[in-house]
Structure formats: C-alpha cells, structure tokens
Chain A
Amino acid sequence: GENVEQHPSTLSVQEGDSAVIKCTYSDSASNYFPWYKQELGKRPQLIIDIRSNVGEKKDQRIAVTLNKTAKHFSLHITETQPEDSAVYFCAASRHLGGQNFVFGPGTRLSVLP
C-alpha cells in the first residue's frame, strides 16, 4: 500500500521568511496530492492540491511542486505570517471511486514574530 513520509516534523521560521515542507510517496499510481492545514484544536482544511499531470501550482503565498519521477512533492509558503502557524499534512491518493487519502505524519510550523 501507499506510504507517505514528511519532513521536517517541526519547523520554525521568522515572520517574512519562507517555509518548505517535503513529502515522498511510494505508490507510483498515486495521482492526487492535497495539503491540509490544521490549526490548534480545529479540523484539517485543504489549502492547496496538485494532480499528477501538473508540475507546479500556486495560490497567492503558497505553492506546491511535484516530481513524479522521484515521487516527491513539496509545499512552499512565502512571506510567512504568524497565522501560518499550524500543523500541515500532505497526502497521496489514487482516484478509484472515493478518494482514499494516505496522510503524512504532519509538520508543525511555527512562525516567530
């Protein structure tokens, strides 16, 4: 089955700096890669996703890149703000009716003022 690894487990950056979180997956058939943000005490919420036919996707200060050959994908947050502090989860999925995601272990991002 699919296995998703995520690094680093914790990350501290100064406000305004960039943050990068990296994930690797094992199943070459996975074709959808979402990123979820979970603030303390709240539910995970989708912030950006990418499909396997695309190499990069941007949405304002966040971007995701995908390298299918190497089976890894990354989340990039630029100009970090204190409200970016949260746990970020990557996931991988095949589309076989009902999107069964395999989540990575999460990265706790702290943005220091």
Chain B
Amino acid sequence: DAGVIQSPRHEVTEMGQEVTLRCKPISGHNSLFWYRQTMMRGLELLIYFNNNVPIDDSGMPEDRFSAKMPNASFSTLKIQPSEPRDSAVYFCASSLDGTPYEQYFGPGTRLTVT
C-alpha cells in the first residue's frame, strides 16, 4: 500500500490567493483527519470525517477554511482567501474503525503564505 498520499508537498502562495490541499487515504480506511502543525500551537485537529461525513469541524479556524470528502478515496482542504498566519504544515491522516486504532499520517503539505 502506498500509504496516505498528500499533494502538493510544498505550496508557496501570496496572501489572498486560494489554496487547495489534497489527500488520498489508505484504501479501505473509513476515517480521515486533517491536522495543522505549527511551532506555536502544536498539532491541531481541524476536521475529521467518518464514512465521508464530517463528524467534527470545531477545529476549523474560521470560514476561510473548508473541507470536503466527496468519496472514500479523496478529500480536499481549501483556504480562501489565504493569510500569512495560515502558514503551517498540514497533515492528513486516515484510520479504520475498530482495531487496530492507529491513525496513519501522510507526508504533509508545507504551506507558506507570503
């Protein structure tokens, strides 16, 4: 298995631009998580889906952030408009209900907003 796939791996954009991050979970996994990691705030859960349905989006910072999971093999996290404070590493992770309980992380997308 290729593991969780994220694209792009690096994104540099100017303030005000729209940014779309993409994630392909491990085949067969039915839960998907989006995290943001910064030095100041650590690893924060933004939103998670179970069976393609958003379960908890309380971590989404504001209306500029949105996430979708149109099918079991694809999810997007969109930021519109982007701001410099959105600069961070964004991780996607997936897991399967039931044992084992492990969340498998993707390689992350390093976002820089100038």
Residue ranges of A at the interface with B (Cβ–Cβ < 8 Å): 32, 34, 42-46, 49, 89, 93, 95, 97-106
Closest 4 CB pairs of A and B: A98-B50, A98-B31, A43-B105, A105-B42
Which residues of chain B from 5 to 63 have any CB-CB distance to chain A below 8 Å in the complex?
Answer: 30-31, 33, 42-43, 45, 48-50, 55-56
Q: A89-B43, A106-B42 are in contact. Are A98 and B101 (CB under 8 A)?
A: no
Name 22 A/B residue pairs within 8 A (Cβ), A-sorted. A44-B43, A44-B105, A45-B105, A46-B102, A89-B42, A89-B43, A93-B101, A97-B31, A97-B55, A98-B31, A98-B48, A98-B49, A98-B95, A99-B97, A99-B101, A99-B103, A100-B45, A100-B48, A100-B56, A101-B33, A101-B103, A106-B42
- The A/B interface has a contact count, at CB < 8 Å, of 55
Instruction: Count B interface residues, CB 8 Å.
Output: 21
Q: A34-B102, A93-B101 are in contact. List 13 more A-B contacts (CB 8 A).
A: A44-B91, A45-B105, A46-B103, A49-B101, A49-B102, A95-B101, A97-B31, A98-B31, A98-B48, A98-B50, A99-B97, A100-B45, A103-B45
Q: Which residue of B lies closest to A101 (CB)?
A: B103
